[in-house]
Structure 1
């Protein structure tokens, strides 16, 4: 089930989303000593992440990770880790950063290690993005790993999209569905139409599979521009 929150501008959207994330983290920390926040990369989250970095949060009790990342060095311009390092981490003083990618090792080995050693559970707050093909995280329906990624009980999967660049590490569909609070940030009429179609009928793409997954609720933060 999805719940729409509509905004006229990206700035208004970013402010509201940052406030919602803070509220979600505060709520999580009332019942546990630490909370896990997973955020997305790309260009859309930049204003939101910068805004979140300025808000009061008990960051020393928060672990921060990514929903997905490209298999690139963290200094690469297209690395999601680089975006978080530039926008959120400078203000999130005391937070514990949990990267998904370590290009010093083999990619398949890295994903196996994550699955074997991850002790942080699933995110209490998870902020997703979505492409116009309906992918969320790096769960691309055109990838050879698609079927495994949407049925596995592993938390992490390795994905090689056919029509998007770079090998990627992503949370699996089941791990996203188990997250305590899911938020989706999208902009513009085209992505709204994709999401509405995904909601109306279950489709063979990640966002539709997630929407129709039993027990899943997603707060959608959509801006017109």
Structure 2
């Protein structure tokens, strides 16, 4: 099930989304000692992450991780970890950063290590993005690992998209479905059409699979531009 919230501009969307995330974290911290927030990379979240960094949050009680990341050094321009380091972490004083990628080891070993040692549970607040092919996180339907990624009970999967650059580490479909609060940030009419089609009929892409899982609720923050 999805709930739409629409905004005329990306700035209005970013402001509302940042406040919604703060409210979600505050709610978690009324019943837990720590909250786990997962955010997305790419270009769309930049304004939201910058807004979030300026808001009052009990960051010392918050762990921050990514929905997915590319298998790149953290300083690489295309690393999602670099985006978070430049936009959110400078303002999130005291938060604990939990990266998904460690290029000092192999990608295969890193995913096995995450699955065997991760003790933080799934994110209570998770902010997703979506591509025009319907992928969310790095769950690409064209990847050889697609079936595993949408059926495994492991939290993390290694994905190599055929039509997008870089190998990626991603939360699995089951892990995303288990998150307490799922938020999807998208912009423009093309992505709205993709999401509406994914909602109308189950399709072989990640966002449609997620929407149609029993019990899953997604708050959609969509801006017209």
TM bucket (normalised to shorter chain) is: over 0.9
Q: Which residue in 2 is equivalent to 1:10?
A: 10
What's 2:170 paired with?
A: 170
Offset of 1:166 from its aligned partner? 0.1
- Aligned residue in 1 for 2:111: 111
Deviation of 1:145 (Å):
0.1
Deviation at 1:156, TM superposition (A): 0.1
- Tell me the equivalent position of 1:29: 29
Specify the alignment match of 1:138 in structure 2: 138
Deviation at 1:126, TM superposition (A): 0.0
2:180 maps to what in 1?
180
The question of 1:207 aligning with 2:210 is answered: no
In the alignment, the residues of structure 2 paired with residue 165 and residue 215 of structure 1 have an alpha-carbon distance, to the nearest angstrom, of 33
DSSP 3-state at the match of 2:138: coil
CA distance in 2: counterparts of 1:97 and 1:213, whole angstroms:
30
**Matches of 1:57 and 1:216 in 2, distance apart?**
26
Alignment partner, residue 151 of structure 2: 151
Q: Secondary structure of 1:6's match?
A: strand
The equivalent of 1:38 in structure 2 is 38
Q: Tell me what 2:87 maps to.
A: 87
Measured after TM superposition, the shift of residue 28 of structure 1 is 0.2
For the residues of structure 1 that align with 2:110 and 2:66, how far apart are their CA atoms? Answer: 15
Secondary structure of 2:84's partner? helix
Q: Measure, in 1, the Cα distance between the counterparts of 2:213 and 2:78.
A: 30
Q: Deviations over 1:58-109 (max 9, x none)?
A: 0000000000000000000000000000000000000000000000101000
Runs of 4+ in 1 over 6 A off after TM superposition: none
When the two structures are superposed, what TM-score results if normalisation uses the length of structure 2? Answer: 1.00
* Structure 1 SS opposite 2:63: strand
- Which residue of the partner structure matches residue 197 of structure 2? 197
Distance (whole Å) between structure 2 residues aligned to residue 182 and residue 207 of structure 1: 12
SS at match of 2:214: coil
Give the Å deviation of 1:8.
Answer: 0.1
